[in-house]
Every structure is written in structure tokens, then in C-alpha cells.
Amino acid sequence: MNLPLAGQVAIVTGGARGIGLGIAQALQRDGARVAIWDLDVNATSLRDAGFSPDHVERVDVASLESVEHGFARTVEALGHVDILVNNAGINGPVAPCWEYPVDAWHTVLAVDLNSVFYGCRVAIPHMRARGGGRIVNVASIAGKEGVQFISGYSAAKAGVIAFTKSAAKELAKDKVLINCVAPAMVETELFAEMSDAHIDASKAKIPMGRFLQIEEVGAMVSWIASPACSFTTGFTFDLTGGRATY
């Protein structure tokens, strides 16, 4: 059987657990060899999922130096990179913006937004030289709507969406397609940082009346990263069960 991603190499940041792990599994199932970048490279979640990545690299996506090093090591191990999924992210504090800790603001922006810039800055020259590639950035409904009490996270994710639009226009003739997904709530360990009230309020906003499943994110990202997605770039694909119809 000819798998859609056969012969391709993908990097998934934050792939040790949660949504990233689900994306990594979907890409591998569709034929790609997959490198996982994470701070937590000994995650039991990988073993629990019975998933064997083709390469694992300890990378702090908030550090350009670490991203450059991780990219070089990945190319060394797997030969080339065709797909980059910028997924690693943190929620940060839940607090009114006027009380939001300044240090946490900088950390959230570094992990959720600077990381996307760093990953692209390092991967794009490689992809352009190879004659193409796919980048998928994991944004959030928070970046489209702005969610109360997570202003740092919302601002970072809005930044990811705008960055993706700019980069897509710059790359449109290079066969490097760059898109976002904007998920609503998925039940992952990110929930540990959120209050029950915040989780309940988020569910109430989803017309389908349920949380998003990780497999649904994996399937969509794998399609966006595949040759079948050929005429869409700079777009934010919706994963909100009807909450955002724009």
C-alpha cells in the first residue's frame, strides 16, 4: 500500500505526550519517519502508548541554540526533514491580565510563540533547498477569540496565526506550505494548569458538546502535512466542534 507520507521525515515538537504524541503517531502511521523533540525525552507516555519514534531529541523549543542543535542532530540521524509540526506549548497562569506575573508572560511567549519562529527559521532554508516542505503550527481557539484569564497564552497563539500568514506569503512560490490548526479543548495534562470553572466554561462553548479527541488532531495534521493538501497555505484549520465557524 502506498502511504501518503512514505519516504518523508517529520519533526514533532512536544511529541512526548498529549496532542504532540497523537500527531507523531498519526504521521508515522501514514508512512513518515518521525523525530520527537521534547524537554522530557524519557516520558513514560511514549512507552504507555506503545509508540517508537524513529528519533528522539532533547530540545528546549524556547532556545534558538537548542533548536539549531536539535535540527542538525535530526538531519544527521534521519537524513532530511520534510515536515515540521510546531506543537510544544504551555498554558501558563490563569489570572487577570493586570495581575499576570511578568516572568510567566515572558516564558509563555517564549515557549508558545518564539519557538515557532525558531523552528521555522531553522527548517525553512533546509526545506527551500530541498524544493518543498510542510509546516504545521499548533495554535488554539484562544488565538482566534482571546480567552479571559489566559491573556499571555491567547496573545502567543494569535501571534502564531499571524506569523503563519506572513510566512506563507513569503514561501508561496517555494512549495513550502505553512498552516495552523486551532483546536478547542482536548483533555491532556495541560488541564492540570486550569481551574475546573475554566474547563467547564470551555466545554459549554462547544456546540458538539464534547471535548476534541487527540486522534482527530492527528488525522487533520497528517492530512495538512501530506501532498493531498496542495493549494492551502497561511490558513488556520478549525478543530472546535462548531465553536468557531470562521
Ligand X SMILES: NC(=O)c1ccc[n+]([C@@H]2O[C@H](COP(=O)([O-])OP(=O)(O)OC[C@H]3O[C@@H](n4cnc5c(N)ncnc54)[C@H](O)[C@@H]3O)[C@@H](O)[C@H]2O)c1
**Residues near ligand X (CB under 6 A):** 13-14, 16-20, 38-40, 59-62, 87-90, 111, 138, 140, 183, 185-186, 188-190
Question: Cα–Cα distance between 125 and 120 in angstroms, integer?
Answer: 9
Catalytic-residue membership of 118: no
Report, in Å, the least distance between residue 89 CB and ligand X.
Answer: 2
* Minimum distance of ligand X from residue 173's CB (angstroms): 29
Instruction: State the nearest-atom distance from the C-beta of 49 to ligand X, in Å.
Output: 12
Which amino acid is it at 109?
A: L
CB 112 within 8 A of CB 154: no
Which of 100, 118, 153, 246 is flagged as catalytic? Answer: 153
Determine the Cα–Cα distance for residues 46 and 12; give it in Å rounded to an integer: 13
Phi, psi angles (nearest 5°) of residue 27:
-65, -40
Query: 83-86 and 9-13 as β-strands: parallel, antiparallel, unpaired?
Result: parallel
Residue whose CB is less far from ligand X, 89 or 218: 89
SS3 category, 137: strand
Beta strands of 91-167 (E only): which ranges?
Answer: 133-138
**C-beta closer to ligand X: residue 30 or 60:** 60
| Rounded CA separation 193/195 (Å) | 7
User: 175 or 186: whose CB is closer to ligand X?
Assistant: 186
Comparing CB distances to ligand X, the nearer of 175 and 188 is 188
DSSP structure class, residue 213: P
d(CA 23, CA 45): 14
Shortest gap between Cβ of 230 and ligand X (angstroms)?
Answer: 25
Give helix 115-130 / helix 64-78 axis angle, nearest 10°: 40
Q: Nearer to ligand X by C-beta: 185 or 229?
A: 185
d(CA 112, CA 138): 9
Buried b / exposed e over 155-168, threshold 16 CB at 10 Å, is bbbbbbbebbeebb
In the complex, the smallest distance separating the C-beta of residue 175 from ligand X, rounded to whole angstroms, is 26
Question: Catalytic residue numbers?
Answer: 153
